[in-house]
Structure 1
């Protein structure tokens, strides 16, 4: 088990994407944040291993600081984003490759900002409002609206809350995007019909305003190029959220698992770096069982389905459906056969291949 102090400091990784982005802009390598997080990040399992199945014994002061970390991040976010816009105004990228590199790194920062916003929307009303604003500023104002209803609808593949076992990430992302927008419009109509003062569900106006503020800041910083950059990044953030939902729930809906409508099944991965960077979002089955538990008190759930690789590897694999099925079907069938027969990546084994799921090779842990 990682020492509690090291474990606590590890959660500062939420600031790593922005730190790498500013370093990359200073060094003239705008793609640095994306390259490190998505290139080197998966390899850190070799060094850091997996998060322990047991919770650390946090001291009161440490627990308080960890509890406040998402709020501190949300408060720092506007200044970090403003710093990027100012740097863009002063030193715009040179050439198409520079803009693409900056776009990938900025997408990395905003995507993981949505992860922090996810933690906030499961908190108190004040934190939930802050999570709305953070998600909006990061380019995904519908986060709270779609995610809280997602928790209330277990295993439903018809409404695109869980993906169908037979569909690709591309199909699911498109189907879920339509569902989310239509749901927001319908809820807005219901509230308007009831004569509510706010015609949009709890905080959505503020979230959309935060999105528009971000778009305006980049447009002012770099004109049409800045506008195109932030719109492309926001579209990428939207797709990234749907792709992660696909990864977390594929094969665990009512079309594949009999009791999916009751048990809120989700895949988990214990990569320590990923756990730190995503505030335990990768321990997704445990999160679904009790979404009010703060991230630093969330441990891997016994008997949860375990992913055969980390999120980065599997997101790339999901873009090629035959490769995705080749990796995931053995993991799914192994979990169905025996939920306690955990086969998961461990240090040097970054990806569990189909051969790792042969019954004679399945170890009990």
Structure 2
């Protein structure tokens, strides 16, 4: 604040400086691997993100800088951040077409094909966090771009479930996106993915019923979202052949896995209190896990500043704040996603933090029956 009042340039989070460009950079890595000579270089994305990334995330450390309140309006209105989000869609489409072409029309060794296919899936998968941001924007153009990004990985229903389901039900037993204490990721994932899809259709059917319309009608947004996804599948298969179905299945699976493990990290073991009238208290910062590691923040478009996102769902990513009253993950997302895959490691890292948070008495435990200490 003193820097703002004195006219000095305030210290800003690196993410506030660069916007969502790092996500497009991840999607461009397969092009770099090809330019470097292909072959083993097609594994460049996998090595950089999942081998070197967690180490760098720990070495670079945390970024706890928030935009000064006096400057939030300026950064919120800046067109630059929307442009960095929009940029990803043409990059994503180019990545998919480039990868499909190389895999189906060139003589690549099998190990190189696998490396490129996985790298493409990762590039598409990280776009899901960026599309999440776009689907929260009030602009129809932004939401349209977000839906197109999700359509290329078969997840366009996210717009309906997340905005009208998750944000209303978060940190309650009714939310398939909120994991329970003692629930392993591998137990959580099928419930999470399956119930989110079912809930998306239920939400849209309920909306149409209030309007006096059938769920099976042209007014059903879920039908149009599904047709949009099918158009991509049919088009890619028609042009590139049957192998395109395998590649699309891969780019379908990667973002769902990434978002499912993200859900697992974000609300594990946390529940809102039920009030005397039967409704739940409003979402607060204490109902989401935070993480402020800089590299994770870059690659996940600040979704790891999750406590502020849920308490203020209209706040765009560039001005999301670190909330110190929220429980804090011991490491960044780049590390914790792997911890979630190994339940004993997850319990050893997270349960002591969570149990100490329970002891404060501010949050209701959300747990499987009979597993609380």
TM-score, with length taken from structure 2: 0.79
CA RMSD of superposed structures (Å): 3.1
Q: Distance in 1 between matches of 2:67 and 2:321?
A: 6
Matched, 1:241 2:226: no
Q: CA deviation at 1:114?
A: 1.0
Q: CA deviation at 1:262?
A: 3.4
Match of residue 99 from structure 1: 113
Q: Report which stretch shifted further, 310-319 or 77-86.
A: 77-86
Q: Distance in 2 between matches of 1:30 and 1:213?
A: 28
Matched, 1:20 2:29: yes
Equivalent residues of 1:305, 1:339 under 8 A apart: no
| Aligned match for 2:351, one of 329, 341, 346 | 329
Q: CA deviation at 1:331?
A: 1.5
How many pairs align? 336
| Aligned match for 2:328, one of 298, 301, 306 | 306
Matched, 1:30 2:42: yes
Q: Distance in 1 between matches of 2:168 and 2:15?
A: 35
Q: CA deviation at 1:309?
A: 1.2
Match of residue 251 from structure 1: 269
Q: Residues 72 and 202 from structure 1, CA distance in 2 versus in 1: closer, same or farther, beyond 3 angstroms? A: farther
Q: Distance in 2 between matches of 1:145 and 1:116?
A: 16
Q: Report which stretch shifted further, 114-123 or 237-246.
A: 237-246
Q: Distance in 2 between matches of 1:130 and 1:6?
A: 21
Matched residue of 1:152: which SS? helix
Q: Residues 338 and 103 from structure 1, CA distance in 2 versus in 1: closer, same or farther, beyond 3 angstroms? A: farther
Q: Distance in 2 between matches of 1:329 and 1:319?
A: 15
Equivalent residues of 1:89, 1:222 under 8 A apart: yes
State how 1:316-355 maps to structure 2 within 5 Å. 316-337=338-359
Equivalent residues of 1:45, 1:271 under 8 A apart: yes
Q: Distance in 2 between matches of 1:310 and 1:46?
A: 8
Match of residue 186 from structure 2: 170
Match of residue 42 from structure 1: 54
Equivalent residues of 2:15, 2:318 under 8 A apart: no
Equivalent residues of 1:156, 1:261 under 8 A apart: no
Match of residue 4 from structure 2: none
Matched residue of 1:173: which SS? helix
| Aligned match for 2:101, one of 86, 100, 103 | 86
Q: CA deviation at 1:200?
A: 7.1
Q: Report which stretch shifted further, 211-220 or 19-28.
A: 211-220
Q: Distance in 1 between matches of 2:304 and 2:90?
A: 24
TM-score, with length taken from structure 1: 0.80
Match of residue 71 from structure 1: 86
- In structure 1, list runs of 5 or more residues that go unmatched: 341-365
| Aligned match for 2:65, one of 30, 53, 61 | 53
| Aligned match for 2:169, one of 149, 153, 175 | 153
